[in-house]
Structure 1
């Protein structure tokens, strides 16, 4: 992800006239990281998944069931998802940790109403070729309950990812995390000049610091309490910029669709 970003590759720029200009960039092309965050204790977020293409970390996601990973639709836009790999049980992606489990993707399901131009319905499901072995380093993350409302404005949540730590795509020392605060939809939509669509959720730092997600953090979960309430979707040109709050797919709006696909 990154700026209006890893999001299917569109970079959103704000210029002096408040005009919005769209430029094309490859997904995840802006080297960046969880902004204003910290490295978590190894395997303390056992639900985290790394989606890889050609041996490189591309996006995040989370393990919902032993054979099912939830991620963002833009992560597999213009790519053959069956050519990707999913890595579970990782902390440091630079080494082959004994806790890591690597899977091929048997099938992928993008939401039928996904709209790359607006990022609406930016969610997908990845079915692994075999079931993951659950344990201390690999675990599940719950969805919101059916019919659940999104977290209230002001609620504190956390976002995780393995986004690179420099413009040279250097990987972080391990899984990173930032604590962010949910923003009211009206306030967020005003910041984005009315560009938000239904089923989007916003968050930003609770102070003046830059804090949030960036490029290769796409698809990772926004965890509020013990449930995944958001998926990293898009942000402004400068990652963690309070002027353009980070935007997530609101997972609670897709619970029925998710279970419908899994139970097919």
Structure 2
């Protein structure tokens, strides 16, 4: 049963959407579907309450709207498959936890690019007659005005009745061309209906979908096909069932199809059931998406140190494995007996739910020898962190107790001051990521890799990042001799260790932040430079919240 706080959270978020006039929770003018006739339909839930719809597109993958993440990212999330009635539990139903959220990398909390993948903690039982995969189209062709479509969901059935439908509903809508939808009588370009969107409804506004149905499918008739096919995802609208304010749907374009294939590792969406079952058993890269967009700026494509070598046991004793649901998601550095330094994108997205932990002293993640586990009681992202520009991308994690320092667990002392790292300097990065682009399994053992610092000017040039994003003085660009990052999101938050000036001993110089792809030429990794200003901030936070423990420096 939901606590009052949990109920308040869900109600408050829904209220915010309603106040903005962007969403509500109904399929207006709908009718019951035949029980289990839409076996691909998914109920995305937070604390056992239906929040959004979704579509099962592979045994371990659900397609939905990226905006749904706002409603579930701070709560325990799961999906229910094989349901017709949400109240009456069927023996054939299957409930599975969400392992990670993966919004489209260019989604910016608007209606554009409102598409997301959810990786499930385990494969759905697609041998169950009430749980089936809906194949995605192999290509995308724009819809003409007047095409008949259907929308499906568990939303309300009346504007006056705020109660959600217990049973799965369906309504018929008609495609409206973008020019009309952007006209003064309709949305008046507020919001702008882009080429990534589809407008659909009816002239009188008697049939519509809203927030509770967000993420559900838009199924449309195609020439020469006897059945409707999925062409879009329910995104948003202006109010519920208002004339000249049709529903807005994300059109599943070629670019989205390519992105989906890349993330889930599928070449053809029409694999046989046997192939799908086999692929579902392949361990996918560990990362909560959404998080993924936020961490990597490129979706959750990979989590590897490509071409890395095993670290000698004990030499990476300062390394921290930041974990969610017992899976490694980010790296970090123990800089104090009770504090771990990592990236802000890790802290912001992985610690909102307060369910994460830090593991110290691990060389092999599967083996517990010498390791210590901690809860994080106080994640502290830099107060000026900007996820759009990746400026100030660093954070501190306060552990629930001081670590026991020994041969397995040691503190990496902070430098007293730092200087700019010269172009061409060889540095080292560490992490538990993959070691091969073609192998999705992350490494069990800690790996390290040598990278070369690339000048800020080069990194901002047209052949590299072209100021998207701008590489600032607070960042370090580093990669291999072809300008490839060789690190990815699972290594975010880990240390960049460089030899600085005349010092023979290497020092902590940066924090792994983000990259564009894992193995892309002229797209090196971007690290947060451990500047003197950041050192002052770190010392201030630690001294202010830790009693009688000295901050070690070298």
Normalized per residue, the structure richer in helix is: 2
SS at match of 2:384: coil
Question: Equivalents in 2 of 1:203, 1:153: separation in Å?
Answer: 9
1:89-116 superposed Cα distances (whole Å, 9 cap, x missing partner): 0011123x22100001121111010001
Q: Is the 8 A contact 1:235 1:246 kept in 2?
A: yes
* CA positional deviation for 1:210: 4.8
**Unaligned runs of at least 5 residues, structure 2:** 1-99, 107-254, 261-288, 293-299, 500-505, 545-554
Q: Shift in Å at residue 11 of structure 1?
A: 3.6
Q: Structure 1 stretch 242-251 or stretch 121-130: which is displaced more?
A: 242-251
SS for the counterpart of 1:77 is helix
The secondary structure found in structure 2 opposite 1:106 is strand
- Aligned residue in 2 for 1:152: 422
Kindly indicate whether residue 250 of structure 2 is the aligned counterpart of residue 250 of structure 1.
no
Which of 476, 485, 488 is residue 201 of structure 1 equivalent to? 476
Which residue pairs with 1:27 in the alignment? Answer: 291
Q: How does 1:1-264 map to 2 (within 5 A)?
A: 11=105, 25-28=289-292, 29-80=300-351, 82-95=354-367, 97-146=368-417, 148-165=418-435, 169-190=440-461, 191-194=464-467, 195-205=470-480, 207-208=481-482, 210=484, 212-225=486-499, 226-237=506-517, 239-252=518-531, 253-264=533-544
Q: Deviations over 1:28-87 (max 9, x none)?
A: 533331012211112211110000111111100000000010000001223435321000
**Which protein has the larger Cα radius of gyration, Structure 1 or Structure 2?**
2
| Relative contact order, higher structure (CA 8 A, sep 6+) | 1
Q: In the TM superposition, what is the alpha-carbon distance from 1:143 to its structure 2 partner?
A: 2.3
Larger deviation, residues 49-58 vs 135-144: 135-144
Aligned counterparts of 2:530 and 2:105: Cα–Cα separation in 1? 23
Measure the CA separation in 1 of the matches of 2:475 and 2:529: 5
Deviations 1:143-186 (Å, cap 9, x if unpaired)? 2323x212111111100001245677522130011101111111
Once residues 157 and 54 of structure 1 are traced to their aligned partners in structure 2, the CA distance between those partners, rounded to angstroms, is 32
Q: Matched residues in 2 for 1:168 and 1:186: separation?
A: 34
Deviations 1:197-236 (A, max 9, x none): 341111111x348563112000000011332111111111
Matched residues in 2 for 1:102 and 1:151: separation? 34
Retained in 2: the 8 A contact 1:204–1:240? no
More strand by share: 1
Deviates more, 1:242-251 or 1:109-118: 242-251
Distance verdict in 2 for CA 1:209–1:77, change over 3 Å = closer
Of 103-112 and 157-166, the range deviating more from structure 2: 157-166
State the number of aligned residues.
246
Whole-angstrom CA distance in 2 between matches of 1:85 and 1:167: 29
The alignment yields a C-alpha RMSD, in angstroms, of 2.6
Give the whole-Å Cα distance in 2 for the aligned partners of 1:104 and 1:134: 17
TM-score by length of 1: 0.85
Distance 1:133 1:143 in 2: 19
Larger mean CA deviation between 149-158 and 119-128 belongs to: 149-158
Aligned counterparts of 2:428 and 2:351: Cα–Cα separation in 1:
30
Partner of 1:3 in structure 2? none
Q: Is the 8 A contact 1:120 1:198 kept in 2?
A: no
The TM-score normalised by the length of structure 2 is 0.42
Say if 1:235 and 1:245, in contact at 8 Å, map to a contact too.
Answer: yes
